[in-house]
Amino acid sequence: MSNAIEIQNFSYRYPDGTSALSDINLAVEHGLRVALIGPNGAGKSTLLLAMAGFIKGAGKVSIDGLEVNRKNLKEVRRRIGCCLENPDDQLFMPTLFDDIAFGPLNLGLSPEQVRGCVAEALATVGLAEMAEKAPHHLSAGQKRGAAVATILAMSPKIITLDEPDGSLDPRHRKNLVRLLAGLSQTLVIATCNMNLAAVVADRVVLMDSGMIIADGDVQKIMSDSKLMAEHGLEVPQKFSDSN
């Protein structure tokens, strides 16, 4: 069985020639929750874009056994859903129902199937009563959940999330953790919040300067205070308490 994500010798330069990713090799098994951690500018968001084919570099990226290229792009994006850093970038329709229905309608589903997809996605993120709400009337936490719902309605096997807890208060952050823990999809979460990574992830990939520095067990990597400090990161509360 193929991996959920397979990246081989992938490099990417910005249009001005600056190196953003350098010789990335990464394999993610189905069902894992992987946290990409690292300082700002480490290349985490760029790597998420590469996974979904939004940028093209040197090397090979495969999603669920399908190589990410122009020919396969439509099918690749059925298999991987991307939650952007700013949920407002994903919520642009008059009502929340319309936003979540947008993807399934484009897949050619019947109105009845679309209604089912929307209802299930809203229920999963705890917004079942919000279908007719205008997205701009939602709180920051509700918007974050709604953005996840737009992805869930497409039934992808893999979901990437870029700084999913940005602008959330502690209560909504707990709700997000509960939501992520309940999802069955493969998750790749780019985050600067070490506490979130420590709680949610099965595996952690530490990035800096466009390279993978460490990859493996969450506790082993994130409790290494010397390694974390070298890359401008803090040991999360969960592990600092045990030292």
Beta-strand relationship, 186-191 and 33-37? parallel
Tokens of 112: 């009845």
pTM of the predicted structure, to 2 decimals: 0.92
Domain boundaries, the chain: 5-87+158-240
Helices H / strands E in the chain, number of each: 10, 10
Quick one: pLDDT at residue 242? 54
pLDDT, the chain, mean: 93
pLDDT, tens only, 162-185: 999 887 888 888 888 998 999 999
The answer, yes or no, to whether residue 243 has pLDDT greater than 60, is: no
pLDDT, tens only, 112-159: 999 999 999 999 998 999 999 999 999 988 999 999 999 999 999 999
Quick one: pLDDT at residue 167? 77
pLDDT, tens only, 183-237: 999 999 999 999 999 999 999 999 999 999 999 999 999 999 999 999 999 999 9
For domain 5-87+158-240, the question of CATH label 3.40.50.2300 is answered with no
Spatial separation of the C-alpha atoms in residues 54 and 47, rounded to whole Å:
10
